[in-house]
Structures are given as C-alpha cells and as structure tokens.
Amino acid sequence: LETDTGEMKIVGIMRTLNDSLADAVIDEGHKVLWGRDYYNEEILGLKFKVKAFAFFQTNIDAVERLYSDVLDVVPDVSGKTVYDLYCGTGTISQLMASKAKDVYGIDIVEDSIEAARSNTELNGISNCHYICGDVKEKLDEIPEKPDVIVVDPPRKGCSQYVLEAIQTMAPQKLVYISCNVASLARDAKELENLGYHAVRAVPVDLF
C-alpha cells in the first residue's frame, strides 16, 4: 500500500514462500502476482522507496514521532560523523545527513541496502555511505571514527563484539533504538559496564 493524494492504494500483490518456524520473514522464494515489489513512502519530508524484504516501520505517524525523538536527542550533528548501525532502508541516516559531515550505514539485508542507496539518490543526498553485511564484520571498513552512533538492532540486540567496538570507538553520543526491552536491558547493563551512562529513555508505541 502507498498513499496517493491522501488516499491509500494497492500497488502490488506478492506471494512469499516460507517454511521456517522462525518468527521472521524469510524469503524462500517469491513471485509478484500483480503490480510491483516496492512501494513509496514519505517520512519527515524525505521520500523512500521500500522494497518487499527491506526493513521499514509501517506506522508512519508513530515512526515520525520516534525519529523526531532521535533527532531531539542528538540535535547538533553539524560537521560530525554518524554511524547508523542496523540501518534498514536508511531512514535515520538520511534524516541526519542534512547536518552531518558524513553518515555511514550498515545492514545485513541486501534489499535494505539497495533501497537505502536508491533513496539517497531519490532525495539528492551525497554524504550517506552504505555497507552491506554483518555489523560486527563491517565496522572496520568505515574510514572515519564516529562522533555519534545510532543502533537499531533486531530483537536479539547487539552482540558483545559490537558493544565492545562501540567502547573502543568512543563516540560522544550513543542512541539505542530497541524493539525488545529484554535485550535492551541486557545491552544497557553491559554498556554501563563499558563506561556509558543512560541519560534519557523515551517509550514509543508503534502499534
């Protein structure tokens, strides 16, 4: 579905095969039955092309509140380098890019990174750089040290390697977006042990 002059319309119908027991959308084959395999969305003035298997929040009113809170936590990224880890389709990256010096996004889902790169072109953004792969394996490929890191990991949270890498890189600010309070509590405790201190928590109802 996508919005067209204030009204929702169906733009494609897809059949996905998934014989897994996991609580996840795993593409074991798919076919576009009608229309296209992507839809267009707009968040806080930026346009996004969302492919079928790219991670993207679908409650736009709620996600605009969430991303506005993120921007409020780090209001001044002028001239700074930002890492957007587990970046999905690059929504946070591109919202920060208007002020930041450079933004680097990493995500393991190829569809997400393809969409993120396409969206930077769609929005005329030149200072977002995206890497496809596991965060813990790709951090060393970024040529600049971060001033700010935003993490938005899957439900399992961040690996110990990533948390320790954050400590080593020593960003001035770290923003942790979580969809699982249990893994957030675990990671927050470990980050506290590594020298970071939580100063603000903002709950957002995405449902």
**Which residues are part of the catalytic machinery?**
179
Q: Please check whether residue 35 is in contact with residue 28, taking contact to mean a CB–CB distance below 8 angstroms.
A: no
Q: Is 98 helix (H, G, I), strand (E, B) or coil?
A: coil
Burial of 143 from C-beta contacts in 10 A (0-12 / 13-18 / 19+): exposed
- End-to-end CA distance of the chain: give it in Å, rounded: 17
Which is nearest to 112 in space by CA: 57, 35, 168? Answer: 57
Which is nearest to 85 in space by CA: 113, 63, 107? Answer: 107
Q: Is 102 helix (H, G, I), strand (E, B) or coil?
A: strand
Which is nearest to 174 in space by CA: 147, 193, 194, 202? Answer: 147
Tell me the C-alpha distance between 104 and 68, whole Å.
19
Which is nearest to 35 in space by CA: 56, 6, 53, 15? Answer: 15
Tell me the C-alpha distance between 26 and 141, whole Å.
27
